[in-house]
Structure 1
Amino acid sequence: MQLRRNNWHVYRPLVTTRTAPVEVARSKTDDNVIASDNEAIRLPATGPESSYSRFLLDQLALPAVSVPEARTDPTSRLSAVSMTDWLGYCIVTGDELDSDVFGHKDRFKNQKRRWIFELAYGYYDVELAALIASRRGVELRLDSLDREAEVIRRFLEGTPFSDETAIRTAIAQRQQALKSMEQQQRTVAAETVDAAEVGDLRSSVLDHRKIQDTLQADEARLTTQLTDLQELKRQLISQSARLTRAIVADEWLVDFDFVVCPRCGNGIEPNRAESGHCYLCLKPENSTTSREALLSEQDRVISQVSETDRVMELRQSALDKTKANVEANKVTLHRLAAELDQRTAAFVSDRAAVIRAQARDIATVSADIEKFHEYAQLVARHSDQDQIRRKLEEEREELSHAIEGREANQHEADQNLEALEKRILEYLERLHIPQLADLLTVRINRTTFLPEVSGRSFDELSSQGLKTLVNVAHALAHHTVAIDRGLPIPGLLVLDGISANAGHEGFDRDRIGDMYRLLIEVGNEYEEHLQLIAVDNDIPAAVIDEVRDSIILELSQQDRLIRLASRTPDDKLGV
């Protein structure tokens, strides 16, 4: 595939999945290719970024932009313009050639058709659209500021706190009053402590609580020690039992008398050896102190068990005494706490009205301070709005100047459109269409961007054959004007079923011949920039003889598989 002056190999699976991978690679025979560009690129079929559609747009230098979905609201959600939308101006199918102008009867296709027209001819400036959207955003922010300012004004209207200085003064006064009230509250609390021996009772309660904490800590410590001593006694008793088993085992495992030799079975006499020697092996007997050591160790362990019992008795006695002190102190503490509560309740009862009044006044003043802080924030925001408004108005003014400067360039877009109208008229004259009025005229509607011939819209044309002629001239004019004036339209035009709605004799045959002659002439004139492909099923014999040299591929009902053409790849016109 050739894109502008670059050749590419493209592999695309025959599926309609949006994420289907498409592989593209620069052709090794391309003069512009460098060694590092030979590797294939794998891209998803569609998507706003890094897709096959975006790849084609970049290679053909077509604008890759997003346009508002609502044409009357530049701030509405944006929709990306894809390569498929641009190809809407390049492929005219057989069922549309005599009825639609690039699918204008389909609401969705017609919306993108109009955007493509504005992009190609300069009526839709991407930067201008961004400026308009920005100005609209500024205007919306100004409207929001006006509504907020009106709400604040009505809220503060009729109050003595519309001035920030008055609010700050009121806050300072109430903060001072709050400090005085809190001091009075602390004084009443101090009087409560000092009145009716409450202070002494309170001190006694605190002292007994400290004593209670100390006694409970001692109780916990003694309990832990008793537990440790019991574990120690258990270990000592277990060790003493093991020592007893070892002493008994030493006596019974060593003192054996042999009657026969354990090796050969012959009888053994005890007097066969000297005194102090073993009568079995005839060697001197070893004296061992293991038994005496075990007995000594067992005595020491038993002594430790007795000592542990004495220590446990002392700890148990201390624990019982501590528990008794805990219970006694708990009773005293309960009595003192009850007496303190009684005397405090009596004092508070006497001062209940004063205490309630103080609490109510403190709550009221605190609420006032919070309310005045909110007033201050509203007033400050109202003051800041003036500065914000000035900045927004300056920004709006700058955007308006920029928009006026960009709109001044619309004159060039008008010139492009006038050139299109002249080119369509030229092609229609060469096609010798029937005269619809005294004077043949062509106009592009500035709202719908559809052609109007002699004052008639495309849908009002009298026959399908006439619509076909207008459609061919209209589509061809778009591409030739784009080439002449450097407008971004892909240099490809496919027309399907040119002679589908025409006869083979007389006027109809002549018009078919006129269309093919026009296509051939335009193809030869713009062969370096435009590839024209005309697909037709029923061309008159006289016309076939005339365009024989431009036919690239012929297919029949028995041979409908598209195959490689016999002509060279440089041919720009195919029939």
Structure 2
Amino acid sequence: MLHNAETTLRTLRTELSETSAADAVLRGELRAAVQAATAATQEVLAARELVEARESVVAQVELDLRRLERSATAIDQLSPFHFVVCPRCAQRLEARPVPEDHCTVCLQADPAEEDVDPAAVREARSALEQQLQDARELMRADAEVLRRARDRSSDAEFLATNLRRQLDAQTRDVVAPRFDAISDASARVAALNGGIDAVLHLRDSWARVRTIAQAAKNITARRKDANAELKVRRAESDARRSLVGDLSSRFTTTLMELNLPWEQSAVIDPGTYLPVVDNTPFESLQASGGALQAGVNIAYHLALLECGLTHPDILVPSILIIDSPRKALGSNPDDRERGRRIYSRFKALTDAYGSRLQLIIADNDTAPLPDDAFSTIQLDYTHPMVPGVAHPGPNHTTRTEDEYQA
């Protein structure tokens, strides 16, 4: 439909251009007449401005002439008088000092003789009258120019109007109907284009709707996956929380077995996974030192070791090295009993898990258990090295482990 409407519009415009070509001469004459009328109008405007300027000059000269006449009349009538009182306020003027050659009324310097000389006044009047006569002659000449310009403008307007009527008469029956048809065809083309634009806009809107719907669908799917993952993570978190609870229970049990008199409550903080004893965090316990700090450290690491052995998903080493576990306990009978309890806990772990763990304890004294409870390596000044590791000698300057790594 749009293609057919555009074809019809092009056909009408072609016919109109062919018809208009026959009127080209008349249109050219009309164009020239319109240009001549425009030029004549501009000439009338210029002539009118010139006449108005001449009228202003004549009015100014007439004003100067009247001013000169009033001044001469005032001088002739008032110069014989000698004022003794002010003509305005009637105050006496004799007592006021007046410089020589100055007016006794206004105190201004007396005018020069040539300014008040009757002959000079007559000469100025004659000059102004001559200027007025010349200005009036020029104004009459310019007014005649304006009249002729108006006549030419009227003739040009008349000619352009007649040519325009002739052109209208020639094109009324041929061009006007085609103009109406072109207008209708143009409106139809515009309406069809508008309909197409509306369809395209609607199509784009539906495309955006489909895009938004797909995006919403994707978001819903991602939300479903996220909820599923959240559920899994929560289950894992709950499972991990149970592991923390198990660690806390083992730590509390181990610490109670050590029978430390200072301990009233002991748990593992679920946020830091570190011991809290008697509401005191692990960092403060470390700073305090003493038997409580040593016992908490031993109990905590033993609990970690046992949890790692019972729960494979807890990634802690299966080896534990403890240096001087009884050093901070003291030497009274109760302290010796706590030392024995610590070693009994070591023995219970090794009996329970066997080769699954390796426990190395460095101590200055032998274990307070039977000799066959642990494998013992005694080190002294004569035999300061672990068997199988040669002593490097007094001149050795590098670390033994560095040599073995090399």
Give the TM-score range, shorter chain. 0.3 to 0.5
TM-score, normalization by structure 2: 0.42
More helix per residue: 2
Of the two, which has the highest radius of gyration? 2
Structure ranking higher on relative contact order (CA contacts 8 Å, 6+ apart): 1
